Structure 1
Amino acid sequence: MAELRTPPVGLTDGGPVAPVPETASWAGRHVHDPTVVRDDDGTYWCFSTDARSDGPVRAGVQVRRSHDLVDWTFHGWALDGVPAAAADWAGAQGLWAPDVVRAPGGDGWRMYYSASSFGSRRSAIGLAVAPHPAGPWRDGGLVVSSEHHDPPAGVGHPNAIDANVVDDGSRQWLVYGSFFGGIHVLPLDPVSGHVAESAARSAEPGGLTEHPGVLVARRAPHVDNGAVEGAFVLPRPDGGWALLVSYDSLAASYHVRAAVGDAVTGPFRDRLGNLMTDLEAAPWTVGVPVLSGHRLGDGPGILAPGHGSVLTETLPDGGTRQTFVHHVRDADAPTEHRLQLRRLVWTHDGWPLVSPQPWAGASRECDDASTWPTDPAVLEGTWEVLEPGADPTRVQEGVVRELDARHDVASLGAGRFVWRGDDDARFSAVVHPGWDAVRDRPALVLTALGESSRVVLATRLGEGGS
């Protein structure tokens, strides 16, 4: 049962929490459930769960800074331990999965942190505020809490962790939830940052156990304890919204799936039209598989990528760059967890996909989409291919081959292509310059989505790959 779920090594679950004696070598190590923001001077700030793979954990939300999204320096902790209200309610020994956003009007910053313990639904999301990502951070109390009731048949009550704040232009929303009861959405008061008064109906501080909001995603409780968490909602380029969530075991088959909908409150459907709340479909058929465990070439095995957020930046030329920020574990040392980022792209018909290669820095990447390939000839040749939906329960080895047979290939400009495969299924693809991290050289990378929700991630090899 979910209540017996064992915490991965490095995530605290009771007992004394000792200060960390040395952090100079941490860089992107020990990062779990990350979010990244950029301040006004161009510095990037990463906030993540209180986690450590090689010793005791100090509470307060880990903070790192970077100037290029590649090299990271440990900055410290946002808070001095678990705030009293969160500790009293949830008994938490550490804080999880922070989401950091600018306050409306740009007047300071807000951090939504989670307080819980493994296997419990007695949880809370709290709010802290600061004038700058570097702090100082001041606690602002609980926003929403949940109680550990016995679940009703089939679903279960929500678990108040894993916050994601979304602004749709007219109001703000809190997307939250994990495992028990799925993912829910509640309206926020933009002035206070707390749940809007019209939705707050519980006597408990920040409590909404009986009125959790709109359900947008869930899984059957018999499937890895109903594992769906780490939700992130972002706008699609031509209208509507995309939902990214993580499925399955935190230290094994964890992987990322996507769906789209017309509103922040859903409903969200995958490429085949399946609702993300569908409990009847086969467990791994709902949602578009975006990223899963893999190994490219003779590089390190990537285990359990997930709990992602998206950093959206406006570039000096007026363009936009989006980066998927997530953690990974090392397949050969599963207790080790670290930060990883990848470019996020959109197919011509509005589906989010991520690069098969980690972000290599602005000097090695190309943000100018007007220079991305337009000639269908770039699809020829040899590629190292991954299919994240083929079997997300294992670390998939990259396969070196030509892309599947393509018919009626058409270029839509800016790296976008469409074609039909041998089975007449239509694919939408994005091809752009990237960096092959294993071979340490420039390469074209491809992401493609078929009508059957089949996703192909590929890196061009050999001549023509640069």
Structure 2
Amino acid sequence: MKTKTKVMLMGLLFAVIIIPASIFSVRYYYPNTNDFTGIKVPSAPTKTPVKNVNTDILFDEKKWTTNFTHDGAIIKEDRWYYVFSTDYMVGAPPTPGIQIRKSRDLIHWEFVGRVFDQVSQEAWDWTHGTTFWAPNVIQMNGKYYLYYSVSEVGKRNSYIGLATSEKIEGPWKDEGAVFKSKEGDGNTVNAIDPDITIDKSDQPWMVYGSYFGGIFITKIDKNTGKLVDPNDQGTLLAQRKDMNAGIEGPEIIYYKKTGYFYLTVSYGWLEDTYNVRVARSKYITGPFLDYNHKDMIDLSDDSFNTGNKIVASYSFGKDPGWLGTGHNGLLQDGDNYYLIHNARTGEDKYWSHLHVRKVLWTDDGWPVVSPERYAGEKEQKVMESNLIGEWQQIVLNRFDDAMESSTKLQLLPYGEIKTAKGKSRWKLNGRNTLQMSIYDPGVAPKDYWNFTVKVIPSWDWENWKGTLVFTGMNQEGTVIWGEKIINK
């Protein structure tokens, strides 16, 4: 064979066999970590990233959007979502009146105005409070019932009042006191943070309370909107041994698929360690038990570890993150559930924003929430190839309420997880359930942390791009969040 022919044949062999084999090899060892095949990620919420601290809008309420929202309560009416919240702002005393915001999509919010101009004379005489706290709104009897709080800071001199309106945006009529508390009144409850829940028999209840006495529930007369027994503080649902550590902001929601009522409360201090805990009960009056069957009335030294922690202060990567992630509201919208809460920026903890998060349900019936703010995402079927790559993970430590920072997690092809100790595995079950077995000898139960999480597309607010996230729990009820790192 001539030399020239040999060279041509070798070149052909190289082109047909060697190059494709090399490409295959590269793809095997360096898989596509940005694979979004079959996944529809949300669009950018706005054209440019949102400023978490923006002094230009301080005195321009029309531009407040999510700024200065605290202790929000959410309701959907006439295709609008409304949030009513505590009087709060930065840089000046807040204007009293209960702030109102609305949105068509839970993403873009506009400031509507306020319910009142000032605290009522009756509330002032009882508490000497000048602003409104922690409202709650519900529709009954063809009109809207707004419950609000006025309180003397640091004391049980507190007042829950009621206002009614034919329209969700008002005007509102003050109907006076629902329940009042004061030192020496023979009760232990602090009359703030009301939430109205309707049980399976169409009976309304008010769950309320805060520091000092804990969380209570009592019946509401559905004709008047006030207590069935004006002198009955109700049934105790949740309490901590050291009430100075904080428990407040209760909400209750019923989930028909499981037949459980779910109680959420906030632990910690509102400026930094605030976090949301959840427990459940077949009965609206309790007892409410967490994943580990611990009663939310916990007077033990271990009461800091009661309740599934589902939202907490966090930071992904180098982002300053969010503090004070507490005092939540709950919304059922058809088959979808959402949790809202206030969150304070890592840059300046006095700037408080409204966060909306999608609620997902574990296979054993517990609510967990997305690690990212809602941007229109929906649960979708995912493939194994979508999951391969680097992730940031945050474990919401139940024993420590300080800000949680993310660490790296790498999902390799063929179900391997890259760890120093090896032996860690992952697999995809069903439409979007990811199971991870993390080898941690001598620390984890039977040497493995077993996490079962739900994977959904999301918007990465820190890096301003679409991504995948996961949320779920391990065998001890500890929540883990994850967010996929998308390479440029």
TM range (shorter): 0.7 to 0.9
Does residue 165 (structure 1) correspond to residue 180 (structure 2)? The answer is: no
Q: Which residue of structure 2 lines up, in the alignment, with residue 206 of structure 1?
A: none
Of 189, 207, 227, the match for 1:175: 207
Give deviations 1:196-229, integer Å, cap 9, x for gaps.
Answer: 1xx33x3xxxxxxxx32111111122x6x04000
Query: Conserved in 1, the CA contact under 8 Å of 2:241 and 2:301?
Result: no
Give deviations 1:276-298, integer Å, cap 9, x for gaps.
Answer: 11111424211111111111133
Q: Which residue of structure 2 lines up, in the alignment, with residue 38 of structure 1?
A: 76
- Could you list the structure 1 runs, at least 4 aligned residues long, displaced by more than 6 angstroms after superposition: none
RMSD: 2.3
Change (3 A) 1:339 1:408: closer
Change (3 A) 1:235 1:76: same
Distance (Å, rounded) in 1 between the aligned partners of 2:262 and 2:381: 24
Does residue 309 (structure 1) correspond to residue 329 (structure 2)? The answer is: yes
Pairing 1:189-338 to 2, within 5 Å after superposition: 189-196=221-228, 199-200=229-230, 202=231, 211-221=232-242, 225-236=244-255, 237-314=257-334, 320-338=335-353
CA apart distance, 1:101: 1.1
Give deviations 1:171-199, integer Å, cap 9, x for gaps.
Answer: 11100000111000101111111111xx3
Query: Conserved in 1, the CA contact under 8 Å of 2:342 and 2:354?
Result: yes
Does residue 97 (structure 1) correspond to residue 129 (structure 2)? The answer is: no
Pairing 1:20-169 to 2, within 5 Å after superposition: 22-40=60-78, 42-104=79-141, 107-149=142-184, 157-169=188-200
2:433 partner letter = R
Distance (Å, rounded) in 1 between the aligned partners of 2:175 and 2:431: 45
CA apart distance, 1:406: 5.6
Does residue 342 (structure 1) correspond to residue 361 (structure 2)? The answer is: no
Distance (Å, rounded) in 2 between the aligned partners of 1:402 and 1:232: 37
Identical aligned pairs, as a percentage?
31
Deviates more, 1:432-441 or 1:112-121: 432-441
User: Which has the greater radius of gyration?
Assistant: 2
Change (3 A) 1:272 1:339: same
SS at 1:335 equivalent? coil
CA apart distance, 1:68: 2.2
Give deviations 1:225-246, integer Å, cap 9, x for gaps.
Answer: 0400011111133211111111
Q: Which residue of structure 1 lines up, in the alignment, with residue 395 of structure 2?
A: 387
Query: Conserved in 1, the CA contact under 8 Å of 2:305 and 2:399?
Result: no
Query: Conserved in 2, the CA contact under 8 Å of 1:180 and 1:226?
Result: no
Q: Which residue of structure 2 lines up, in the alignment, with residue 396 of structure 1?
A: 404
Distance (Å, rounded) in 2 between the aligned partners of 1:64 and 1:462: 33
SS at 1:177 equivalent? strand
More helix by proportion, 1 or 2? 2
Query: Conserved in 2, the CA contact under 8 Å of 1:255 and 1:392?
Result: no
Query: Conserved in 2, the CA contact under 8 Å of 1:79 and 1:138?
Result: no
Unaligned runs of 5+ in 2: 1-57, 412-416, 418-422, 440-446
Distance (Å, rounded) in 1 between the aligned partners of 2:322 and 2:424: 30
Unaligned runs of 5+ in 1: 1-19, 203-210, 315-319
CA apart distance, 1:88: 2.1
Change (3 A) 1:307 1:21: same
Deviates more, 1:124-133 or 1:415-424: 415-424
Change (3 A) 1:390 1:120: closer
Does residue 442 (structure 1) correspond to residue 480 (structure 2)? The answer is: no
Of 351, 355, 361, the match for 2:370: 355
Distance (Å, rounded) in 2 between the aligned partners of 1:165 and 1:376: 43
CA apart distance, 1:84: 2.5
2:146 partner letter = M
Distance (Å, rounded) in 1 between the aligned partners of 2:133 and 2:147: 10
- Using structure 2 for the length normalisation, give the TM-score: 0.79
CA apart distance, 1:337: 1.1
CA apart distance, 1:416: 3.4
Query: Conserved in 1, the CA contact under 8 Å of 2:72 and 2:341?
Result: yes
Distance (Å, rounded) in 2 between the aligned partners of 1:299 and 1:243: 31
Q: Which residue of structure 1 lines up, in the alignment, with residue 381 of structure 2?
A: 372
CA apart distance, 1:441: 1.9
1:28 partner letter = T
Query: Conserved in 2, the CA contact under 8 Å of 1:271 and 1:451?
Result: no
Give deviations 1:374-409, integer Å, cap 9, x for gaps.
Answer: x56655432111112266432222212236766685
Distance (Å, rounded) in 1 between the aligned partners of 2:62 and 2:217: 39
CA apart distance, 1:305: 0.3
Give deviations 1:419-439, integer Å, cap 9, x for gaps.
Answer: 655435554321111111122
Distance (Å, rounded) in 1 between the aligned partners of 2:398 and 2:388: 23
Distance (Å, rounded) in 1 between the aligned partners of 2:460 and 2:333: 23
CA apart distance, 1:414: 4.3
Using CA pairs under 8 Å that are at least 6 residues apart, name the structure with larger relative contact order, 1 or 2: 2
Of 218, 243, 247, the match for 1:186: 218
Give deviations 1:133-189, integer Å, cap 9, x for gaps.
Answer: 2111111111111112399xxxx8110100111111211110000011100010111
2:145 partner letter = R
Query: Conserved in 1, the CA contact under 8 Å of 2:87 and 2:97?
Result: yes
SS at 2:359 equivalent? strand
SS at 2:61 equivalent? coil
